[in-house]
Structure 1
Amino acid sequence: MLTNSKYNAGEDFINEVSTIGRIHHINVVKLIGFCSDGTQRALVYEYMPNGSLDKFIFSSNSGPNHKFSLDKLIDIALGVARGLDYLHKGCDMQILHFDIKPHNILLNHNFNPKVSDFGLAKLYPKNYSLVSLSHARRTIGYIAPELISRSFGVISHKCDVYSFGMLLLEMAGGRRNSNPRAENTSQVYYPSWIYDKLIEDAIEHNVIETDTSIEIDEREKKLCLIGLWCIQIRPSNRPSMFKVIEMLEGDINSLQMSPKPFFSETPQIPSKVPHLNTNDGELITILEDVDELN
């Protein structure tokens, strides 16, 4: 049920429903019907028997039989990334979701993910590089900085990339990114803790050659490295969803450590730490070009 039906009235509502109704992608939940009766608005989507992703990745909500392997988490991440890439570039209109979070990733009977809940989604012609957004409910913890202040950059599909990065980090850590009850104060904010841990890991394995107190699985590290790129403060420093797919499908040795993606007094990557791209030593800066906005 659409509670803010005054914003989904008449012809505009029908136009948006007809556009969303034409979306057919294995990783986007299918709209099968709608209701427009007076002031009442409702959307009917396909049923997803395994519910939402959040109950499977947060330890407090899942038992031992509901835990995904890291390989399965990467498969789920790839599915979500492909769904978002389709919404951004594969439709007649560019669709920005604006509310990517574990609760809005639904799982079918085979645990394949589908992006759902388009209550905040906006449709734009593909040639739009700038997006205006006057009012929207937003979920704390997944909000791109530019949605709070335009001083960080323009609103674009990179808002979804940011939210996806926060989702990846929660999938990797098996916990919410912010946990005020963490035993160690350094672990209250998981993205900051894992960034520092990856820096330490790179120093110890590549410079000092000592063992780490906490081992990070290569697949978990892969999710974290990509997630940290996605949550860069400046939208121009985040990869497109197409690039994210390439990163998820590629080898971890092709990934570099990102700059620190949040406000902190902690220094950026130490000069002694080698980048994680060991194939040819070439530095590759992830930047957006004009075409990526379309």
Structure 2
Amino acid sequence: MNLEDLSRIQSAFDQSRGIADLPYAKGQAIDDTLARLEYAVIGLIGEVGEIANLIKKARRGQALNVDESGQLTSELSGEVADVLSYLLKLAGQGDIDPSRAYLEKMCRNAHRFHAKLRPATITIAGPPGSGKTTVASALSDVVGAESIYIERPSDNPFLDRLDSLSTQFDAVASQNWFLDTIANFVRKSVVPAVVLDQDPTAIALVYGGLLYDRGYLSSTDYQQHLSALLSLEIDAAARLNGRVVLLLDASPSHLALRCSQKHTPLDETFLGTLHERFMSTFADLPNVITIDANRGFGEVMDEVTDIASRTLVGNS
């Protein structure tokens, strides 16, 4: 049973007991979401206070040599359940899918919580046409060719044209291919430093989120891909921990021109949507350096090479 199942149970229970509209009476037709959110938050704070009170009593008993650990264990379970109940109420009132929200947040937290070590990985993030592959390939002089991961969408047998997906497009298999391919490279790499021409977060959050919002991925499939990303972040923590993300920022018109030049044309409006998703996903994460990719390749590479030389473990 997952959080979605628990949310449905909580909602059905509240409806069956006439408490779904609190703080208003049952059947009182008032559209006041804020009041219902406030009520759920007040209830949540009250239940968290109960947990704090239990721990206070246990600490007091410890100081007075009175063993209350058994009582703490037995009562804590019920209070944690009450906290979860109000969290589910809060999610329901806010029309939030708690499973999706949790997994998306944890994927972002993988960037935020890391050991203060010199990173072993640089990832290049950005939409098609931003120059990821060109930049990553050119960094072979800094880290060595065997350290470069190049994402090759043309090798993905399931991929369709992103700006005009067909009804036969297998989004699940396509996303699995991208995640599995980069995960295999990361997990098998034994060199001191690597460069990835895509950040795994972009595969799951940017592209996966887009496919979910457009109905090509079910909620279950999307969450499975988020879980796969989290597993990679955990299993390959030594490689991905504290990685530096170079976010290539180019205008939609610039992206469209470059895609056309590569004989893989994509709609400019669609590229604008992708650009916005990349910016919103990565802009507030730590260790993200935004690179102006509207400039010439030489200027971009001067900046990127300098960053890689100063940043990556194994380079001085």
TM-score, reference length from structure 2: 0.24
Q: 1 or 2, which has the higher helix percentage?
A: 2
Larger Rg: 2
Q: Higher relative contact order at CA 8 Å, sep ≥6: structure 1 or structure 2?
A: 2
TM-score, reference length from structure 1: 0.25
